Structure 1
Amino acid sequence: MSSLIDLRAADLLLSVIETPDAVISGSVLDGYYGPISPVLKGAGILQPKDHSRAAVSLVDHEDEPVNLIWSPEHRVYGYFSPSAGWVSVPGNQLATYRVNFSMLLDQLFERLDFSPRTGPVELVPDLLWEIGDARLPGRSKRTSVWIGRRLGDPTIWKRFIDAARMRPAPGLRVVLSFTAGNRLPTDVHLGHTLIAVRDVADHNGLAIAPELLAARVATGSQLNDDLITMAADGASLTVRGARYSFSGSKQRAIIRQLYDAWKSGNPELLTAEVLEIAGYSTSVNTLAKAFSGRPDWRDFISEEHGRCWMFL
């Protein structure tokens, strides 16, 4: 895909993807994006959907749409111009082009190693897809990958959260978003890391670069300027620039719970509940026992009177 689509074409495609119906009129596509139009059509990513009855004025107000009418005399659609009279609109400009998501996703993930590569599963119609489990550079376990569009819309964001709750991530889940990073919500669902496609795409186009994706996963979402950030699987936490790593799955489960509570604005949790959810036996009844052998957790976690919380 990167060999076919340059940066300008990728930017246009991302803007079309974020429209409600993922469509663009032929008149706008050819009128304003003439050099780019053949690239996206040739790649099969923009395909004709139906015909429009409006177009961009070809002679008067170049940036204003005009309604089209059928001319029995000329046997074409067009409009009357005050300055030029009847103006025929070429047939190719009547078409509406829609993003072919099947083709797009196939090319977008062509460089990632999925097993098995069974094709996307639509979780929310036309908005959210499960791609599969990918092997990322530097990670021993495969990583669940989803992708969605228009996640900056509160209604669609809620549908994504509902889907995530219905299909809990067994470990880390990467959610790629066609929406720009500065428009994404910061309250990411526990166990998920949200990354904008543009941030991990090949510099020459839109194909996801495995090395960039792996690097972003390792450092966390970084969608804002929080003084505490966490990798989605709880493997590392960065507090005021200092990075702490956690190798055990149970310790990571503790970190995820405390971080999620800190992000919510209600940081205090019952220690017993945190340990139970993390999978510890009843003999481990304090965080001091859970983190036995490493005192650095006290740099950002407090525990007293049966409660625990993350702090700055």
Structure 2
Amino acid sequence: MPSSIDRKAADLLLSVIETPDAAIRGSVLDGYYGRVAPALKEAGILQPKDHLRAAVSLADHEDEPINLTWSPEHRAYGYFSPTAGWVSVPGDQLATFRVNFSRLLDQLVERLDLSPRSAPVELVPDLLWEVGDARLPGRSKRTPVWIGRRLGDPAIWKRFIDTARKRPAPGLRIVLSFTPGNCLPTDVHLGHTLIAVRDVADHYGLAVVPDLLAARVAAGSQLNDDPITMAADGASLTVRGTRYAFSGSKQRAIIRQLYDAWKSGHPELLTAEVLESAGFSTSVNTLGKAFSGRSDWREFLNEEHGRCWMFL
């Protein structure tokens, strides 16, 4: 990460990323962010896209765009200012600068141990990318990582959910979001943990720190005050402050199904279907057998007459 990119430059970049076109006018970039703009341009993260014929005033300190005209005498675009006369506008300020996501994503995940180490795959054009499977400190298995932007927009959130349903998470999937944490949806899709980039990035805000990311995954990314919360991979459930851990993949599958049903408002499921979906053989026909060796599950799960559900 170039040392010239500081926190203010990163903050500007993150705000530009969340705009619909991930772009900013050159006149605004240089006029209001002149100190940090050069670092982002030099790093190749903001690149010229096209040119406009309008700019904010360089002489009168107005916020409204001014239409520019060509001056044969000055051989430049500009405008006439009542206070300063003719003002030429530099070429860079005529451009629209857009985020180069290829360069940005490379820098964002450069510290992660990713496999395969290949170019990100665009899942939703310009909005959602798959960057590979990360090996995080303290976790034995690699975890798939997606990166998304503008996930606070309901229409884009729906596109994310549709994509996640078509490509189900294999136990756990991390979704790094450029959207700030307080703007993210609270009803996260099953099997996904949604984490704001700002919460796990380094001091400059543009590179994910593996230890921070691992800690956030372990703690969960619950964004509301539900009395029952579940880690995205089903490895633990917290019921009114009491945490229950589950090490077996089949038990986790049971917990995920019943938690999802509880969240939906229709908690009761057929026990046989839950156990079959979790991968148990037909000889395991009750939750008691599925959770053999432990009894704490009865503190938040119940089963009667062939049905089971999660309760408070």
TM-score range with shorter-chain normalisation?
over 0.9
SS of equivalent to 2:161: helix
**Is 2:12 the partner of 1:12?**
yes
TM alignment of 1:1-312, pairs within 5 A: 1=1, 3-312=3-312
Separation (CA, whole Å) in 2 of partners of 1:131 and 1:174: 11
Separation (CA, whole Å) in 1 of partners of 2:252 and 2:183: 28
Contact 1:54 1:66 in 2 (8 A): yes
SS of equivalent to 1:215: helix
1:126: Cα distance to partner? 0.7
Aligned-residue Cα RMSD (Å) equals: 1.4
Contact 1:146 1:174 in 2 (8 A): yes
Write out per-residue CA displacement over residues 45-88 of structure 1, whole angstroms, 9 at most, x where no aligned residue.
11111112221112224322222222233221112333334322
1:305: Cα distance to partner? 2.3
Separation (CA, whole Å) in 1 of partners of 2:273 and 2:225: 30
Separation (CA, whole Å) in 1 of partners of 2:269 and 2:198: 37
Moved more, 5-14 or 99-108: 5-14
Letter in 2 for 1:30: D
Contact 2:112 2:210 in 1 (8 A): yes
Moved more, 261-270 or 293-302: 261-270
1:28: Cα distance to partner? 0.8
Moved more, 78-87 or 21-30: 78-87
TM-score, reference length from structure 1 = 0.96
1:2: Cα distance to partner? 6.8
Contact 1:2 1:205 in 2 (8 A): no
Moved more, 88-97 or 246-255: 88-97
Separation (CA, whole Å) in 1 of partners of 2:297 and 2:218: 19
Separation (CA, whole Å) in 2 of partners of 1:263 and 1:81: 61
Separation (CA, whole Å) in 1 of partners of 2:237 and 2:10: 33
Contact 1:3 1:205 in 2 (8 A): no
Contact 2:261 2:268 in 1 (8 A): yes
Show structure 1 runs of 5+ residues with no match.
none
Separation (CA, whole Å) in 1 of partners of 2:45 and 2:171: 32
Q: Which runs of 4+ in 1 moved over 4 A?
A: none
SS of equivalent to 1:118: coil
Contact 1:144 1:172 in 2 (8 A): yes
Letter in 2 for 1:258: L
Contact 2:186 2:222 in 1 (8 A): no
Structure 1 residues 93 and 180, CA gap change in structure 2 (3 angstroms): same
Separation (CA, whole Å) in 1 of partners of 2:21 and 2:181: 21
Contact 2:200 2:212 in 1 (8 A): yes
SS of equivalent to 1:224: coil
Moved more, 19-28 or 197-206: 197-206
TM-score, reference length from structure 2 = 0.96
Separation (CA, whole Å) in 2 of partners of 1:79 and 1:303: 77
SS of equivalent to 1:83: coil
